[in-house]
Structure 1
Amino acid sequence: MHPTDSPVAGPRLDPPVAMFSGPGHQDTLWSDVKGSVAHSKMIRWAGGTAATHAIIKVSGAAEVRTRLFELHFSWNSGVAEAEAKSGKRFWAYKNRPRYGLVLPPGTGVEFRIQEKSNYRFLAMEFEPAYLLRVAELGHLNALEFIETWEYDDRLTWHLAEAIFEECESEARQGLLYSETAVTLLALQAARNLSNHASQVRLLRRGGLPPAILRRACEYMVSRLDDDISLSEIASAIGLSPGHFAFAFKQSMGIAPHAWLRRHRIDTAKALLRNRDLSVSVIAASVGFANQSSFGAAFRKETGQTPTAWRRLRWL
């Protein structure tokens, strides 16, 4: 998963960036949207993109057509007055605290915004092959989704919040955390909103067999200094990302990213006892992109900063 920071500001906005998904896989048929954006950020993985936008204020109208499967989430803390039309269906929404859309490929939507201000927006796009892979439906040629407005599934929103925060922090918790959240969100959508929902049974399975669990843990330990992805681990043990993520938690009681973070911090503790190693060197040696990310993870596991923990051991 790769973060990209794309600040967008000014009197006029590109609708795919400011209003819709940002990654740019829609056709904008026409637009007359004006306003300003505080910032926009994006993360990418092998199979899709997620973009976040902090919107100051926008108004106007646009018509778009999606090319890929898209999920849109917005959290409103200001004014939100807008209308949307898709086919013969019409929606009007005013000052709702949050709003979710599920848009299959080829969906044409007309948006008319009286005013939207002070809101956060997350838009995600998924490649068809990625959705089939995570749902273990590789034998199918396609997976069809139901167009849904006002989507309010609790787990989906929880995962969307996590993905939003990862975009905003430039994937501070690493590939494994980000891709796990994305994979589980894709699975949830496939289970609830696809034409093959009954075949997506991953969330009903048990844990991993002991031999496969051991291989997964050994693989993660062998890549301790890398920003390893969920797909890489799953591929190494011959499972789909979705199956591995869920079954690992069933077996260990915690998600793969949490297990790996704990192991990294335990290793870091041993290294911190060596006075000759700087905190930045230790952070890199246990797989963190920078000292800030390492400090946040260390504090989450121990309640202390690495420097404070080290100081107490040197007294």
Structure 2
Amino acid sequence: MNKGTTSIFDLRRCRYTTEISPFRFVHFKFPRPFLNSIAEQEGRDALDHIDLGDALRIEDPIFAALGDLMETVFLHTERATSFLIDDVSIAAVCHVVDRYCSTGRRHRRKSECLSAVQMRRASEILDENLPGTIPLSKVASECNLPPASFRKAFKESFGALPSAWLERRRIDRAMKLLQDDALDSRAIAMMAGFRSCPEMKRVFAKHLGQQPGWFRPSAFSRHRADDAAPQQAKAAAAHRNRLN
């Protein structure tokens, strides 16, 4: 059986499922109200039925990619924030709605942003929970929105999904803490919301192209100030532009 093999069952018609493999498989279960909320967000009518057809053991590259992502999460649990799991789940249900569900007419999607009050409340909650352990549904509830609607409106308002926005805020917090040479890297990682020092290093390399220690004031003693300072300022400015 090839990687990414997918089986889909409508539990209204089929009361049982079969495992496609005795190992290395991911099981998603989508309640119909969740499917309908995604259909609404995508500008469609409420779904009518799932077009199963030959949707038993099909080759689906989207689910193969999502499976790869989940495998990474299972192998590296320090990256398994609740927001990441929520993002994978919502991406999966969006794909099911788009490819396998008959939802009638497609309407023009309205671009909906969070209100100023909702933006302020969301950023306050997330800033207080930088590790990302708070469920997306709780943040959405505080803004009086269902999770899928909140996720879309958040991206429209902030230019990034909640998980990506949180990652950038952790970098911002760490950049400020790195100015204190008395704090060691492990303490900074914890205070900035990273799960470990290696995770902080990985995220810095991904977004800034440098290790955290490069932004220490003491770095000037190891490099020429006229060479290090402009590069530090350029990297910090690039990060601030991504936050804005």
* TM-score normalised by length of structure 1: 0.55
Match of 1:208 among 113, 118, 141: 113
Amino acid at match of 1:209: L
SS in 1 for 2:180: coil
Question: Displacement, 1:237?
Answer: 0.9
Q: Give the root-mean-square deviation of aligned CA atoms.
A: 3.6
User: Which of 167, 170, 183 is residue 277 of structure 1 equivalent to?
Assistant: 183
Higher relative contact order (CA 8 A, sep 6+): 2
Q: Which moved more, 1:298-307 or 1:204-213?
A: 204-213
**Equivalent residue, structure 1, for 2:225:** none
TM-score (norm 2): 0.68
Alignment counterpart, residue 131 of structure 1, candidates 12, 17, 34: 34
The one-letter code matched in structure 2 to 1:185 is: A
Aligned residues: 209
Residue of structure 2 equivalent to 1:172: 79
Residue 24 of structure 2 corresponds to which residue in structure 1? Answer: 121
Give how far 1:109 is off.
Answer: 4.3
Question: Is residue 243 of structure 1 aligned with residue 243 of structure 2?
Answer: no
Query: In proportion to residue count, which structure has more strand?
Result: 1
Q: Which runs of 5+ in 1 are unaligned?
A: 1-79, 81-95
Is 2:133 aligned against 1:224?
A: no
2:161 to 232, 237, 255: 255
Distance 2:221 2:48 in 1: 58
**Cα contact 1:295–1:306 (8 A) shared by 2:** yes
2:65 to 151, 158, 162: 158
Task: Deviation per CA, 1:17-45: give whole Å up to 9, x if none.
Answer: xxxxxxxxxxxxxxxxxxxxxxxxxxxxx
Q: 1:249 to 1:157 in 2, by over 3 A?
A: farther
DSSP-derived class of the 2:195 partner: coil
Question: Match for 1:206: what amino acid?
Answer: S
Counterpart AA for 1:290 = S
Q: What amino acid maps onto 2:71 in structure 1?
A: F
Aligned to 1:107: 16
SS at structure 2 position matched to 1:149: coil
Output one character per residue of 1:74-103: Cα deviation in whole Å (capped at 9) or x when no partner: xxxxxx4xxxxxxxxxxxxxxx45422223
* 1:267-289, Cα deviation, whole Å (9 max, x unpaired): 10110111121211111112222
- Which of the residues 287, 291, 296 maps onto 2:197? 291
1:188 aligned onto 2:95: yes
- Closer/same/farther in 2, CA of residues 167 and 225 from structure 1, 3 Å limit: closer
Please state how far the C-alpha of 1:157 moved relative to its aligned partner.
3.9
Does the 8 Å CA contact 1:271/1:282 hold for their aligned counterparts? yes
Cα separation, partners in 2 of 1:128 and 1:225, compared to 1, 3 Å: closer
Deviations 1:243-302 (A, max 9, x none): 122222233332221111111101101101111212111111122222222222222221
Q: 1:255 to 1:299 in 2, by over 3 A?
A: same
Identity %: 23
Deviations 1:32-70, CA, capped at 9 Å, x for gaps: xxxxxxxxxxxxxxxxxxxxxxxxxxxxxxxxxxxxxxx
Question: Shift of residue 170 of structure 1?
Answer: 1.5
Give the unaligned 5+ runs of structure 2: 41-46, 223-244
3-state secondary structure, aligned to 2:27: strand
Q: Secondary structure at the match of 2:7?
A: strand
Contact 2:4 2:67 in 1 (8 A): no
Q: 1:264 to 1:164 in 2, by over 3 A?
A: same
Counterpart for residue 207 of structure 2: 301
